[in-house]
A and B are shown apart, each in its own frame.
Chain A
Amino acid sequence: MADTTATRAKVRWGLLDVAVVVFALTPVLWIMSLSFKTPATLTDGKFIPREWTLENYRTIFATDQFVRALINSIGIALIATTIAVVLGAMAAYAISRLDFPGKRLLIGVSLLIAMFPQVSLVSPLFEIERQLGLFDTWPGLILPYITFALPLAIYTLSAFFKQIPWDLEKAAKMDGATQGQAFRRVIAPLAAPGLFTTAILVFIFCWNDFLFAISLTSTERSRTVPVALSFFTGASQFEDPTGAICAAAVVITVPIILFVLFFQRRIVSGLTSGAVKG
């Protein structure tokens, strides 16, 4: 910054940028590389495959185990995200717009839950869900996901809601709309970008979870991909599952990379505003 020549500064920043990009991408490229290797070259330790194959992908999509887990992952994450964003939006609207006793308590509770050690819930939820028949079902995972996604949703959304031009709401009310109508007709469309960003963050959270998924499921009925990955054994027990694991890992990584590529700016603004300015 204190450099006299702009070019030198540029080169220096450029080198730092390269370092960051390399550091961030190496593990991702490595697992991609492994997923394209043939069984013969899998253990050659080379970063770039010598022989390319799609066999690993064919293998995993041919197994029920993976396809079923993928459906579970997508379904559970989508449902949990939808519910969390809807409930979170309602609460965030109330927090950022309305005055009512108990508001601060709600903020405090969500903050506590954001910091809650999830493993502390594993034992009791395991037992409670067994009794309620929720163990190893979609709702059994969706419920904890909603719970832990809600603080994130509430914080991010209230930060977004504060930037909305609320005079429009006043105008709508002056024209005879009730508070509820003003919310649905005027504010909701304005809030859509914030809702969308929040949905991405919440989806990433649900997609990522491993602890609940491995503790509260026991069969393919509701196992998500991260858990299925850890149970992969290959088509027969003599087959090395590495290639299949890597291919499956790449399949669940691609959507995240696409999200990040297209919505980088939104994700950054969502995380920074939600987490710090709260």
Chain B
Amino acid sequence: MSVNSTPAGADVAADGTDTRNGGHAAVPAQRNNRRGKPPLSENKRAERRLGWLLCAPAAFVMLAVTAYPILYSVWLSLQRYDLRFPAEREFIGLQNYATVLSNEFWWTAFGVTMLITVVTVAVELVLGMGLALIMHRTLVGRGIVRTSALIPYGIVTVVAAFSWRYAWTPGTGYLANLFADSAPLTERASSLAIIMLAEIWKTTPFMALLLMAGLALVPEDLLKAASTDGATAWQRFTKVMLPVMKPAILVALLFRTLDAFRVFDNIYVLTSGANETSSVSMIAYNNLIRGLNLGIGSTMSVLIFITVAIIAFVFVKLFGTAAPGSDDGERR
């Protein structure tokens, strides 16, 4: 397939081409340039039309269900809009933002979310790396290990959360009985610890799978050579594997960080946000569905969206081409 020939898409040719057939693509591209920019051939035009046609439904659905609502959400956040008092609906500018940002519950929830995000992602990176190595290298029972590691990934979060809740319920639970006379889900610190445990259990396999894809890129020969040269296992890991895996690690970190920031299901089932264990998702949900306050709920939605955008932006800025958005053209 010859690419690079659409005059309208100079930048498309530059990055849309992908290195997938970079080798072949270079030649027709030059040929085209020598010819100058001819009008689109019938074939090319048909190809573009088909491309748009095939992508249109997916693009339409994705934009209609995300872009429009988020804009609508911004509009709602500028209004006083409580469904219990619909008559009082009016435009109030940034007042909702002032209300939310000066509210200590919001900041507590924000702190909780940040804490959960940082701790779980850090632990998952370490455990996930270990699990990835085990799944990649293990000599016995690889199938069993991979299958059981996938179960936490596949299981419904709410189900797992109930399992943890009953495990820690005094009397009922096998874990609660280990610590006599305590009800860990009624205290803040232990509740948060259990929420993080549940999150880590559920998502470490996903992290491990992403990292395993990176591990597969590490050339065996390189490891053998390092081994022959007397590198210890740790040196091989830090000096050979980690550098090769860096892009995979960053992608895994980015995805998991943003995913961890959305934590909701586990908290809902484990504590319902009692004892100041609400996350931002939880508090936004409570304002909307339990409080029926669309204005405040939307304000929180927008703030969460902005926070996530900042996190993603920082990741991309810090790690540049290693981030998934920017490396499509390079690594494919």
Contacts and interface: CB of A to CB of B under 8 A. Distances in A.
Interface of A: 1-2, 9-10, 13-14, 16-17, 20-21, 23-25, 27-28, 30-31, 34, 42-43, 45-47, 87-88, 90-91, 93-95, 97-104, 106-111, 113-128, 143-144, 146-147, 150-151, 154, 162, 166, 179-180, 204, 207-208, 210-211, 214-215, 225-226, 229-230, 242, 245-246, 249, 252-253, 256-257, 259-261, 264-265, 267-268, 271-273, 275-278
B166 A30 contact: yes
13 contacts: A13-B139, A28-B151, A106-B59, A108-B325, A111-B324, A121-B69, A125-B65, A127-B76, A147-B66, A162-B332, A230-B269, A252-B156, A261-B147
Contacts of A34: 166, 172
Contacts of A127: 72, 76, 294
A42 B172 contact: yes
Contact of A267 (B143, B150, B269, B284): B150
Q: Which 5 pairs of residues, A with B, have the shortest CB-CB distance?
A: A100-B51, A272-B213, A124-B69, A147-B65, A101-B9
B156 A100 contact: no
Q: Is the interface of B mostly helix, strand, loop or mixed?
A: helix
A270 to B, nearest CB: 10
Contacts of A109: 59, 62-63
Contacts of B52: 94, 100, 102
Contacts of A272: 209-210, 212-213, 216
Given A10-B139, A109-B63, A116-B66, A43 B172 contact: yes
A229 B1 contact: no
B61 A273 contact: no
B328 A107 contact: yes
Interface of B: 1, 3-6, 8-9, 11-12, 15-17, 20, 44, 46-48, 50-52, 54-55, 57-59, 61-63, 65-66, 68-70, 72-73, 76, 131, 134, 137-141, 143-160, 162-164, 166-167, 171-174, 176-177, 201, 205-206, 209-210, 212-214, 216, 227, 232-233, 247-248, 251-252, 254-255, 258, 261-262, 264-265, 268-269, 280-281, 284-285, 288-289, 294, 297-298, 300-302, 304-305, 307-308, 312, 324-325, 328-329, 331-332
